[in-house]
Structure 1
């Protein structure tokens, strides 16, 4: 099993695309899931898979056996630093891990907002471990519009965010996965951090216009108060911690800190990052109305 890559969060945004990428390249890797059902489906598709629990050191030790490189990603939450530290400690115990590629967050180094602080704490744990590392710091994902707003866009032609007129250099998850794969398969990008952005900084109004152009119908952006966002998050099962952390991130972006453009995708992949227009065309099926729309 020498030379194997372990992909944590294999069913998440980046993990799913990274699994697809490495599988297409016929690279030896192991995909780590949080449910036996998902791991079983992966095995049925010919993918070496395992089940991990970040709070269970035994499952992490089992997953690390024979692993040379680790792709580390954990859902944002107050336990992220502890959970990722558990994975790092398992990598140390395994003894053969030569690189940890961490999927972090935009501007983690600033520790200016809650999500940045928890990711930076985890980055420091990795740095102190003595294992060579590469931190990937992507901006907000284009695919968040599919994951969180596809239903209201399909049904009502609107998405609601407390984003004011802020600009964000959204990045395509597929680009993040391609960067991760390239970094995992090389040895010349160690002990470095890369900010990952798309090719342009867009307002949410511009996003709505781009979606309108692709879908051929009007899509609107509605700026909502923070408290309404909290209520919407709660109604969809989100925690108060997540709502507050996201509002803090939105405020950070409103202050102008999400609009910078990075050259890292171009530098690492040798091609420009995916545009929002291309993303919208590729995911048009997720936004198309499947039932009569009701006026909001």
Structure 2
């Protein structure tokens, strides 16, 4: 604790959720935030904003304890490989040694009894956090609305055409901005959010419905053209992706398309109680990002 303020370490600080969580915490006078980055180059823009940084690499355990020095609260964000299991265990073991008290974990979708593999991996990490004796907040965001802007580094909407791999399935959606606000609040106020599992999904829509909303709001035609999940699988193979993880993603696209994921379109009413406002829904998101979606 520095100057009476709890020290919070943000892993994944340059990613979608981590960077926005930093934004929410950066203006607070009651906490000290530290961004975990893998290189001096990644640190530079954060340092320019006056945000403290530490060098940290999930795969290099020698960086863990120095990064965790003096840290009381930890935001755990992992990458899209099966290594997330080993990485999370090593980080949490070192966090215990360093005296961290509260852990906020960014997990994945799913009911407690999910059999979607990479969602279940995150639930195993949740159990390990609890077993390790930390106070905790588990975040389980549904599908990110931002995936409609880009997915895997590629635009998801091209000349009014949306491509996805889930046939006519309805998914539950959440704005990354809302996930980050919940993460920030859980890190700033563990006394309010400790022991809570927050499922974060607030608007259930299929891609055809989203295309129709975009047409109405933006005033140009949009349409959905579903692709076979095999297209995704081949693209990941071609890209040299880590296939233990991406094979699971392929299987869950197939299950979405077949309608065999229980609760795929579950939505929740917890956001106003957490954040004091309504969550972003699809009409809001399309309006907010119409410049990026227009063509």
Instruction: Answer whether TM exceeds 0.5 for this pair.
Output: yes
Paired residues of 2:64 and 2:94 also in contact (CA < 8 A): yes
User: Which segments of 5 or more consecutive residues in structure 1 lack a partner in the other structure?
Assistant: 290-296
The answer to whether structure 1 residue 69 and structure 2 residue 76 are counterparts is no
Whole-angstrom CA distance in 2 between matches of 1:23 and 1:112: 37
Q: Deviations over 1:143-189 (max 9, x none)?
A: 11122186352x43222212111111200111111111111121132
Q: Deviations over 1:101-141 (max 9, x none)?
A: 00111116324111112111211211111111110111011
Paired residues of 1:229 and 1:243 also in contact (CA < 8 A): no
Residue 24 (structure 1) shift: 2.9
Paired residues of 1:71 and 1:103 also in contact (CA < 8 A): yes
Name whichever structure is richer in strand by fraction. 2
Paired residues of 1:115 and 1:249 also in contact (CA < 8 A): no
The answer to whether structure 1 residue 261 and structure 2 residue 267 are counterparts is yes
Which 10-residue stretch deviates more, 179-188 or 97-106?
179-188
2:151 maps to 148
1:88 maps to 92
The answer to whether structure 1 residue 104 and structure 2 residue 82 are counterparts is no
The answer to whether structure 1 residue 30 and structure 2 residue 38 are counterparts is no
Whole-angstrom CA distance in 2 between matches of 1:49 and 1:81: 25
1:294 maps to none
Q: Secondary structure at the match of 2:280?
A: coil
Residues 25/282 of structure 1: CA separation in 2 closer, same or farther (3 Å cut): farther
Paired residues of 2:162 and 2:207 also in contact (CA < 8 A): no
Residue 215 (structure 1) shift: 3.0
Whole-angstrom CA distance in 2 between matches of 1:183 and 1:277: 27
The answer to whether structure 1 residue 276 and structure 2 residue 282 are counterparts is yes
Whole-angstrom CA distance in 1 between matches of 2:241 and 2:247: 10
Residue 207 (structure 1) shift: 1.4
TM score, norm. by length of structure 1 = 0.90
Residues 138/76 of structure 1: CA separation in 2 closer, same or farther (3 Å cut): same
Q: Deviations over 1:4-55 (max 9, x none)?
A: 1111101111111101111133442001122321112211121111221112
CA RMSD of aligned residues (A): 1.9
TM score, norm. by length of structure 2 = 0.90
Paired residues of 2:162 and 2:225 also in contact (CA < 8 A): yes
Alignment coverage as a number of residue pairs: 286
Give the 5 Å matches for 1:50-199. Answer: 50-95=54-99, 97-107=100-110, 109-148=112-151, 151=155, 153=157, 155-186=158-189, 187-198=191-202
Residues 278/88 of structure 1: CA separation in 2 closer, same or farther (3 Å cut): same
